Structure 1
Amino acid sequence: METSLEADTPPADREDPAEQAALQRALRDSPRGALAVAGVAVGSLLLAWLLIYAFVFLPRGMVG
């Protein structure tokens, strides 16, 4: 008896070549996109830290 998951999955020997090409393209491009998102996130955090440092901590001067 087949489960619903097995019924929805095509057999490996009948996979569409166009679908395989699309899968390979997605797997090739995904790491670049993830690195871009991570770079933007780290860059924005660094920029926010520098702005806080410049506008909050530097004007106060030495404390103590």
Structure 2
Amino acid sequence: MNDLLQAVLFTGMVATAGLGISSLIMMLLPATTEGETKEARGERLVEYAFFGISGVVSALVLLLAMNLS
């Protein structure tokens, strides 16, 4: 049963790390659309940064849970 818990934690860790890293990469890409204001671009950057950092932190928490269980 312990191996099943480790598998679930590992799957969650890989998923959150992947989403977090991809959000951080999307934050760094200079993609703009026609008619996009500076406020909208700034809002998009903040959203990508927030989701990227929270994804990486969630992956680290799951890694800690794997090591402690």
- TM-score normalised by length of structure 2: 0.44
Name which structure has the greater RCO, CA cutoff 8 Å, separation 6+. 2
